[in-house]
Structure 1
Amino acid sequence: MKFPGQRKSKHYFPVHARDPLLSQNKPQKKLARPHIIGIDQTLVDIEARVDEEFVERYELSKGHSLVIDDEKAEQLYRELKDNQLISHEFAGGTIGNTLHNYSVLADDKSILLGVMCQDIEIGSYAYRYLCNTSSRMDLNHLQPINGPIGRCFTLISDDGERTFAINDGMMNHLRPENISEKIFEKASALVISAYLVRCQNGEPMLDATMKAIEYAKKHDVPVVLTLGTKFVIEGNVQWWRDFLQEHVSVVAMNEEEGEALTGEKDPLLASDKALEWVDLVLCTAGPVGLYMAGYTEDSVKRQTSLPLLPGEIPEFNMYEFSRPMEKAKCRKPIKVYSHISPYMGGPEKIKNTNGAGDGALSALLHDMSANRYHRDNVPKSSKHANEFLTYSSFSQVCKYSNRVSYEVLMQHSPRLSRGLPEREDSLEEAYWER
């Protein structure tokens, strides 16, 4: 596993290197290799340039989103392919994007649970999904289906207007019996989205998701939920609050989703409110930047050396050099907050906003997994005197998530094609490595 950030200290890394202070005759044990697990609605984003007659012929509403059936979706796709109108085909799905980016950043394994076409034609959308997915993602647990996965068509007219046609296919047909308990034994996190638990019409995705949550709790694996869209939350706010409190350790959201969930427009206050139900919050707020909120043990809190920030909670980043913990594992829990402005003020030209939040979450997951990896292989390290959720502090995770979001905004695809450039050590990293 690649660890988040470049560190000068060689005391901890690599964990498999022989320590000259220890006996060289001592046998070297095999390294434990944790991974993360995600459940997703497997779909492909298909972008094409068409004229208005095309939009009208398929009875779509220009500039809006409509759900279309399998037959119409297949007919539309074939016409786009035959006339070479497709400009981009990207693997999509919020969890799929997150797992892919995690595997690119960590250079390590993630496991995707979902469905995939049993028969894949070369050049088809299902083929494109596999081509756009990191080889570090384990797809062996996908459930084969006799039908299409999800497709989201973005049809761009000559005037630049975007019309969306969405076909679910069989992406919500993952069955509970296809969830293997064994893969949860060494997992660092289970990642799900709000879309999964709101599936209806007799589709088995909800049951499959709840089965995965059951296994995660059994093996003490943190459950991470990304809210996805404010419209899903607005329909039943109290249901979501109860769901978070009962099942979720970490929630990722943007400022609109945070307002829908908590009623607080300010992202800092929304993050603070969400701590009533979860242990750790990651909140992206567009041009305002990125916030984190969570808990740590009072006796191990670390005061920041960075400037104290004003806000609805005065000097809220006072202890941002602390590391997150689950509230229930703190003897005397205190709330900790951190914030960072967009990296370099944000890209000069934003090519794609889709997936920036997923990128930020993948960085947080990388840090959580690095913590599990280090804890399993160096259990007596002073870094694990308490049961922390992440390897790095609130502040450092903010920096990392912010940097990954920037990379996603700079490219057309929501999926990273490479890791990040090497980053310089911070004073805080040197502090933790002492």
Structure 2
Amino acid sequence: MINKIIPSTAIALALAATSGTSVAAGDDDKYKVTDKPLELSIHMHFRNKYAWDENWPVAKEYEKYTGVRLKGVASKIGTNSQELFNLMLVSGNLPDIVGGNSLKDSFIQYGMEGAFLPLNDLIDNYAPNIKAYFEENPEIKKAITAPDGNIYHLAYFPDGQAARAYYVRQDWLDKLGLEQPETVDELYEVLKAFRDRDPNGNGKQDEVPAFFRHWEEMIRMVTLWDARTTGTDSYHQFYIEDHSKVKHGYVDETYRTGIRNLAKWYKEGLIDKEVFTRGSKAREYLLGNNLGGMTHDWFASTAGYNDSLKETIPGFDWIPMAPPASPSGVRMEENGRTTVKPDGWALTYSNKDPIASIKYMDFIFTEKGRNIANFGVEGVHWNMVDGKPTYTQEVLTDSQPVNSQMWSVGAQIPIGFR
């Protein structure tokens, strides 16, 4: 429970007190939100190991364009983001801004209790880019609106549909004279060939035909037999059938059929025997040692192995493939990007300049700010090529996955951005 509730009149007074904040003139300064430099505090701790760092290259870019510096106050050595959030709340000593992952419910609950400022009027009056985005995407606006009708936080809004895909060793297929599998039966034959025909050429039967960092991705393969496991990008969720029926894949007969077939494949050595124990290093170990043949995983980090392994494994060719068709002819990619993540940031009742704060947040919804939030610093991490932001070769060939590199410089973190 928050130990201080701010009345609506106090919010109004806070807004009135800062109404003199203005935008600097001139094209070079069109993103400035204050006449003079302003420092605001932010508690942002996420994924149990990252904390906002004002020295991030991306944070410095935001400051350069807006004139606002966000000073991180969350512990940089803490290892439990939710615990740090709770301690910050009960202290009653709130910073100007709070952000992090999986905080949507807290933002709404404590926002209605007065800990966070309602953003509706701030967005309407001072955030034209956010306002336009909500006008174009009313369902997204609805998704972050609290039961009392107020918006208390801005979320991370992913684009696109598919987030993960099947990846296969195309070089192994070529060596064995095989085509990418178009059906589940063809996939079965491909995996047997990977197991039996020594595609890595070391004279040993040590290949792991199909492997997964997350065992749920193995279970997801029941879709190859017309089953379902989830309705979101999270595991073990219900799904909506025909836009009206709430169902769960685990209770369907097709799910049992899929599990029986996966058990058969596992017994035959087509699926990694250590799928339940190998964990997050599965790709790194099995691909790095030229042992893994196929997986289902995130696009960005999975594709990166083409660059990181090209010198150590000659001819390494690791590419996505369309989902093989089920016996009924259905090709299903069950995983998809959610349109609204439960991540983002909010303004607290202690915020010293709500107008400057919402303008800062609005900058990240401009094309300039959006590119920084997604790709990092232009000329360092990316360049504009044929009108599209494109990562540099240094980023693409680094030993770390692109997303990990972005997190380390302050990009693609769970703030409010597109």
| TM-score (normalised: structure 2) | 0.26
Larger radius of gyration: 2
Higher strand share: 1
